[in-house]
Amino acid sequence: MEEPTKKEIIDKLELVLQNKLTKEEVADWASKYVMTDDHPVNDLTVFRFLKTVSGLDTLLGPEEYMYDDEDIKDWINKYSDK
């Protein structure tokens, strides 16, 4: 399995914004890269981005996510190649 690119991570986040993927699905996907040595990530920027995205499904309370659509858009802007 190849390490993901920033574009792949952004694509997943955009699918969350479009309600085509859940926050849990994307957080689980990102977690497999940051929580295990089975899928090493050599690009430090990509690793940091994945680490951030792995917390996407963090809850503040029942049905209340810590991160909202504005946070996701901020992440996309921060990590987009300009």
- 21 domain-assigned: yes
Each residue's pLDDT tens digit, 42-73:
899 999 999 999 999 999 999 899 999 999 99
CA distances from 3 to 17, 19, 47, 59, 71 (A): 23, 24, 9, 27, 24
- 34 domain-assigned: yes
What's the total number of domains in the chain?
1
> What pLDDT was estimated at residue 1?
63
pTM for this predicted structure = 0.91
Each residue's pLDDT tens digit, 3-16:
899 999 999 999 99
- 75 domain-assigned: yes
- 30 domain-assigned: yes
Structural domain including 36 reads: 6-79
At residue 82, does pLDDT exceed 70? no
- 1 domain-assigned: no
